Amino acid sequence: MQSDNPTAAILVIGDEILSGRTREGNAHHLAQVLSATGFDLREMRVVSDDHRQIVTAIRALDSSLGGAYDLLFTSGGIGPTHDDITADAVADAHGTTVEIHPDARAILQARCDRMGFELTENRLRMARIPVGARLIDNAVSAAPGFSIGNTHVMAGVPEVFRAMVAWLVPRLSAGRPVQSDTVEVRRGESDVAEDLKAVAGDYPDLSLGSYPFHDETGWGTNLVVRGLDAARVAEAMAVLKQRLSL
């Protein structure tokens, strides 16, 4: 699919993802949001809670550091425990240090006061922000994420991650949302492959894909046409349906 939209990558951080203990859903959610708001997601990575791996990935993905993509979104590793090392790794990648951010501290103090908690040393870890970073609002549990360069760092807890995404993405410069159309056929991929290939060749600006499924009635295939121009998507789908006698 031809596109001039900003490009993006997602970096998921956490041993619990790689071990299989936790089912990853944040990247799936963000991918849907980015597609709907005009960003081209080009890559997803998952790394462990390892400082060097995180630094290497950030430098490879963030264009402000010479990496591949206009925007990088991370998930995980900014909580209150010893293995939450994302802030330190992001700071290292961007050539800065981590300090207690006064606004982040004030946000946490206000929440603790409301909840009747003490702002302990562990809770205060969530106010450790790379110098020069901008805070990302957290409407769920207060502890902020942050942005530095083109890296946007968010929590791993799904509810908190989604709240941060909802606050952040509308504040970014987006392109054109992806337009999509789908048709279900009760045929296998092999039976539609030639027609799909022919239409894809006639519409090189679009993305055409086939996605097989199986249910109680047998095999079928979802045929999907995606692009930035709704009229072109509709035209290609009409041609595809005609070829398939639908």
Average pLDDT over residues 106-122: 95
Give the pLDDT confidence of 156-204 residue by residue, as tens digits.
999 999 999 999 999 999 999 999 999 999 999 999 999 999 999 999 9
Q: What pLDDT does 148 receive?
A: 98
Start-to-end C-alpha separation, the chain: 24
Q: Is 142 left (phi over 0), alpha (psi -120 to 50) or beta?
A: left
Average of per-residue pLDDT values in the chain: 97
pLDDT per position as a tens digit, 16-44? 999 999 999 999 999 999 999 999 999 99
The pLDDT of residue 97 is 98
Q: In the beta sheet, which residues pair with residue 210?
A: 223
The CA distance from 161 to 158, in Å, is 5
What residues contact 95, with CB distance under 8 A and at least 6 apart? none
Task: Return the closest-CA partner of residue 49 out of 82, 73, 72, 9.
Answer: 82
User: Architecture of domain 7-171 in CATH?
Assistant: 3-Layer(aba) Sandwich (3.40)
Percent of the chain scoring above 70 in pLDDT: 100
Decide: 104 and 136 in contact? Cβ < 8 Å. Answer: no
Domain ranges of the chain: 7-171, 179-243
Centroid of chain to Cα 95 = 24
Per-residue model confidence (pLDDT) at position 1? 86
At 157, list the tokens.
Answer: 């807890």
Beta bridge partners of 129: 99
Q: Which residue has the tokens 């951080």?
A: 13
Three-class SS of 66-120: CCCECEEEEECCCCCCCCCCHHHHHHHHCCCCEEECHHHHHHHHHHHHHHCCCCC
Topology (CATH level 3) of domain 179-243 = Alpha-Beta Plaits (3.30.70)
